[in-house]
Structure 1
Amino acid sequence: MEKGNIDVHSLVLEEKQFIEELNSAERAGIFRKIDWHLLPFVVLFCLLSSLDKANIGNAKIAGMSTDLNLIGFRYNIAAAVFFIPYSIAEVPSNIALKLFRPSRWIPTIMVTWGIVMTLMCLVNSFESLVMRLEWVPCVSCFTFLISPAVDLHVFMFHAHSYAIENMEGIGGLHGWQWIFCLEGLATIVVACLSVFFIHDSPETATFLTEPEREYIMDVLKLDANHLSTDYSIQFISQAMKDYKLYIQVVIYMGFLVPGYAITLFLPTIINELGYTSTNAQLLSVTPYVASCLAAIIVGIYSDKYSLRGPYIIGGASVSLVGFILLYCSSRPGPSYVGACLAATGTYAPVAVIIAWVGSNAGGDVKRGVALAMVMGLGTFGGYVTRS
């Protein structure tokens, strides 16, 4: 046992020595290189995953409610059924990501969900809407966190929804049906291209040189404290028995409830302030721009000072002020400011919460299960919102 400890200690010292041989500029260059090869497609994946959850809100004020006769609580019911299979499928999907190659698993489920999303344009009744919304989360349940890039691209989606509405009647489809169709087709195209650009691990990343690959592997080993990266059922059990995860689930859910309320009902809220449907699509842009900027600032300073809790509490406080404004004011101006504050305070800390969960987990499998549990169980907050 003592010998084993000496061996591990020696290995750690060797890895630290190798890492310290590179100066800060060389280390930054390696990470910048990885960012340029990985982030573009990761951002696209986040965009498409998030828009799947947001497009129904835009379709609603673009005429879907009238065409499908979504009277009473029908819209809420249709939106709520999305989250039950989504939450249940999150953990198995992340386990499958470990068992299969990411470069094969992710594009496969993306193509499947793209097909389902495209077929949403053929929905012609409340019943068919519910049926297809049950299928979308089953095939789009791999974990992506809400990031500044997602906030930025959601605002772009609201902007182009403004243009898509004007496609009313083309091909015999309504404008809201084109929202589903075009987004689904875009997902399929990106999924097919991603097969050639996703790298499974540093060992197989062709854009890295051998010294760069060794450096990244050593950094990952030190980050994981030499915990196992292999699949084992015990790591899943450890994650599920960790009480701290369930506290983080509650925190995450606390942000998802207002977050999904904004995603699903922001266009409707703005529309009911007296703006036309078309202008409501455009005015939905500003809250997401503010959220994007706030998320970047929060992420930078959270990492700089190695703090998570204060930024999460601060975001919740800003969000609370925004919702109070929305609730108490009947005038368009203050209500719109409230919507911007609510979105900013809700979305900005979410990436910090996910980073907090990942950094506190153990090896690869436990970390994957922990993230899936927090995001999967936390997503039940969306069910609460839509109900």
Structure 2
Amino acid sequence: MVAWGVVMTLMGIVQSYHGLLIARIFLGVTEAGLFPGVAYYITMWYARHEAQFRQALFFSAASVAGAFSGLLAYGIAHMDGVGNLAGWRWIFILEGILTVIVAIIAYFVLFDYPETASFLTEEERAFVVYRLKYQGHKDEVDGGMRVAQNDTFQWKFVKAAFLDWQIWTDIWVYWGLGYTSSTAQLLTVPIYITASVLAIVVAYYSDRVGKRYPFILTCLCIMGIGFIMCIAGGSVPGVVYAGVFIAACALYPAFPGNITWLSNNLAGSTKRATGQAIQIAVGNLAGAMASNFYRAEDAPRYILGHALELGFIGAGILALLVMVFNYKRINAKRERQLAEGAHNGYTPEELGELGDRAITFKYFL
């Protein structure tokens, strides 16, 4: 965040287009780790059935902040001429300085892990660490054996993340959601706030019920309805706007749900961190493609753009169903193996090293 804030501040003093472009590249480099970093950080403090509510709070706060950033930029732009600098330069300088200040404060108020949190008592730290260490695996198998996930860093866990089918399948679900981000430019502040509130409400109930896929699937279907309205509405602004409104209100609850769902099913902190980074990095390529979906020559109906959005939503639904089918199949197989005593051939440490591949691990639906 410090590096990101410094780069943003320096963007306010560039003197050429090429300088601005290079600075923007470095802004992307320094900013890239924030979202996956926060998503991973939440999993280091909260159990599987608590994480989506916290992810939704972060996602919604960032979205609402983005909605009001235009108003902030409008106000700062009136500083045009102050210090012999153009108003747009002050937008970068002031927001960059604020980012650096917040980052420095965060260093002192945010604790890396529960083990180092001084605001917790020794007993509370032990409790938080214990519940996170043993989550995901069957509470207790024959003989009273308990399996703890292996949180040490090993390159084999990084490799396991790159080779895991669920991460690459989930990316298609992400793309089914991510493409709707191209409609964000059409949203007004009230719609941002409405969608953000819905994200928090849905996340609360998803955590309470202990299910992810029904909520994500429902949201994808509603998004599909929204884009069908955009296509059918043609050049009628009210219908198109209503379609965008519906799609946005479905996207916001589904996005943190999808991020949380994958993290719920990756055991071991190294594999989880790597998997979430892959998911968000590759998933965000959707934005690069979506920016070319809505061509100027397709105005005002943008049939091609809306149809491509709808196609990726359909692909996301299909990928989600594939994941649910496989999760249920694997869970049922592992239940049979446990009943047959197949786990007796492993030590708790060996099962812990297998992570979500262990027969004691149950995938979160």
TM-score normalised per structure 1: 0.62
Counterpart for residue 22 of structure 2:
131
2:247 aligned with 1:342, yes or no?
yes
Instruction: Name whichever structure is richer in helix by fraction.
Output: 1
2:278 to 362, 373, 376: 373
Are 1:303 and 2:207 counterparts?
A: yes
Letter in 1 for 2:264: S
Displaced runs of 4 or more, over 6 A: none
**Identity of paired residues, percent?**
31
- Once the two structures are TM-superposed, the CA of residue 189 in structure 1 deviates from its matched residue by 0.5
What amino acid maps onto 1:177 in structure 2?
R
- Mapped to 2, the partners of 1:164 and 1:375 lie a distance apart of 32
Cα–Cα, structure 1 residues 175 and 312, in superposed 2: closer, same or farther, change >3 Å? farther
Match of 2:154 among 226, 232, 239: 232
Residues 79-120 of structure 1, C-alpha deviations (whole Å, 9 max, x = no match): xxxxxxxxxxxxxxxxxxxxxxxxxxxxxxx11111111122
Task: Name 1:117's counterpart in structure 2.
Answer: 8
* Partners of 1:206 and 1:223 in 2: CA distance: 24
Q: Bigger CA drift: 125-134 or 245-254?
A: 125-134
**Between 355-364 and 327-336, the greater mean CA deviation after superposition:** 327-336
2:288 equivalent in structure 1: 383
Q: Quick check: 305-314 or 363-372, which moved more?
A: 305-314
1:372 maps to a residue whose letter is: A
5+ residue gaps, structure 2: 40-57, 138-147, 293-365
Q: Please say if residues 319 and 346 of structure 1, whose CA atoms lie closer than 8 Å, have aligned partners that are also in contact.
A: yes
Q: 2:98 aligns with which of 186, 192, 201?
A: 186
Query: Within 1, Cα distance between the matches of 2:214 and 2:165?
Result: 22
3-state DSSP of counterpart to 2:110 = coil
RMSD over equivalenced CA pairs, Å: 2.2
Aligned length: 260
The alpha-carbon deviation at position 356 of structure 1 amounts to 0.5
Give the alignment's TM-score, normalised by structure 2.
0.65
Partner in structure 2 of residue 11 of structure 1: none
What is the match of residue 83 of structure 2? Answer: 171
1:248 touches 1:357 (CA, 8 Å); kept in 2?
A: yes
Change over 3 Å in CA distance of 1:313–1:194 after alignment to 2: same
Cα offset, 1:185, TM superposition: 1.2
For residues 89 and 224 of structure 2, the distance between their equivalents in structure 1, rounded to whole angstroms, comes to 35
Residues 269-284 of structure 1: pairs in structure 2 closer than 5 A: 269=186, 284=188
**Alignment-mate amino acid for residue 96 of structure 2:** G
Tell me the residue number matched to 2:304: none
Alignment of 1:210-359 (within 5 A): 210-223=122-135, 225=137, 226-259=148-181, 261-263=182-184, 266=185, 269=186, 284-327=188-231, 328-359=233-264
Paired letter, 1:239: A
